Amino acid sequence: MARVEEEGRAGSVRVAGVEYLTGFGNHFSSEAIAGALPLGQNSPLVCPHGLYAEQISGTSFTSPRKLNQRSWLYRIKPSVTHEPFKPRVPAHEKLLSEFDQSNSSATPTQLRWKPLEIPDAPTDFVDGLLTMCGAGSSFLRHGFAVHMYTANKSMDNCAFCNADGDFLIVPQKGRLWITTECGKLLVSPGEAAVLPQGFRFSVDLPDGPSRGYVAEIFGTHFQLPDLGPIGANGLADPRHFLVPKAWFEEKSCPGYTIIQKFGGQLFTAKQDFSPFNVAAWHGNYVPYKYDLSKFCPYNTVLFDHSDPSINTALTAPTDKPGVALLDFVIFPPRWLVAEHTFRPPYYHRNCMSEFMGLIHGGYEAKADGFLPGGASLHSCMTPHGPDTKTFEATIARGNEAGPHRITDTMAFMFESCLIPRVCHWALDSPSVDPDYYKCWIGLRSHFEGMKIEGHDTHNGRADV
């Protein structure tokens, strides 16, 4: 459901009482204190209000200008003011950024998980992260990981920093109140947020228990997909992406902990102040969020089923044109109008691997068993498609089915060119659906054979 907005001045908007900047890939500027941004240069000898200038670089200095991402932060104390990092105790054994035989398995089997249970023990966002699958390496700067999270408490006197890659967070249950160095994001189910590599953030739970999905990419950043012959408009509009406005706090925080994910391992460092002490910032390397209900879908208007790539909201490209390290594809409410067409997604074997989640409602290719908060994985060249009930119901409607609007749904897919390895605990989880394969076993042959001069044919030859 679209959220009510109060339009502010050009380039900003207020949503649910929180004011944001708007745009994607812009060079933004934001001040929590008037005059906190230096004029004419990035790093003057003395910054306004006695602030420190600090740059955060999301790309190498010499990346092409169109790809270069960085921001300047003007803060009360620099982020380097902390004690040495130490391995976190206890270690987080189920959070990975390297995938090999010691911690994960390769399997072509179709997999499906029921929703993960919210734990009874106090668990914040960091402790509630659980890696499901992934490929590549954060050390080699190429690859991805898919995590799920369950949490029942806010992060207390601590902040998280991911040195490995970008997080794309998709809440399914409960809002997330995310404080970042650039400001605050209120992220609801039906929205997605991107927290770029290196930013420190903290997650509060205003609604209590929360659950959702996280895609992590190593070595690149998300961008909007090219629209090709669609033209200049459609899919995810840049103006609907929301970026936090500068917000800061100046207070003593004895024992404040920075939790840094580095090579998949968690480290901690102590400091005596809040890391959210940035009074102003400018740049194009920023956290942001997007309301999935604002996606403008495109679909066939005559016959056949469009490829799911038509629903790509964000993409993390590789060096090979048209091949994604990870695509974020969504399946929102929309009209189906194709004539003489099997309208659900077609049966498919894909050179890409597909991890799917469901935020609310149902999914058009699965009559039952795929639940909000659950997930499925169909890896490279593993067959998949509509279940038996969906196929039979679609065929029964016949060619005269009129226009149909899919409502009350929001499914999504993380799709990657890499073949994921599945974590051992994900394979052994009580949430695994051992009967997933049975949803296709009931597909019976509808082949009626052919007659040639009164003889049946088999394997293309007439029986005499």
Provide the pairing of β-strand 158-162 with 252-262: parallel
Q: What share of the chain is helix, strand, coil (3-state, %, to 5)?
A: 5, 40, 50
* AA letter at 133: C
DSSP state for residue 399 in the 8-state scheme:
T
* 388 SS3 class: helix
Which residues are catalytically annotated?
305, 348, 354, 378, 384
Token pair 């902390």 is found at 82
Contacts (Cβ under 8 Å, ≥6 apart) of 446: 395
Is the backbone peptide bond immediately before 196 cis, with ω within 30 degrees of 0? no
The whole-angstrom separation of Cα 328 and Cα 418 is 14
How far apart (Å, rounded) are the C-alpha atoms in residues 49 and 38? 10
The residues with which 169 forms a beta bridge, in sequence order, are: 193, 214
Computed over its alpha carbons, how large is the radius of gyration of the chain? 24
Q: What residue type is 207 in one-letter code?
A: D
Count other Cβ atoms within 10 Å, centred on residue 22.
20
Strand partners, 456: 451
Task: Give residue 442's identity as a one-letter amino acid code.
Answer: G
Torsion of CA 71, 198, 318, 351, to 10 degrees: -140
Distance of alpha carbon 450 from alpha carbon 45, whole angstroms: 86
Instruction: Report how far residue 343's alpha carbon sits from residue 298's, in angstroms, rounded to the nearest whole number.
Output: 14
Give residue for tokens 């890499």: 418
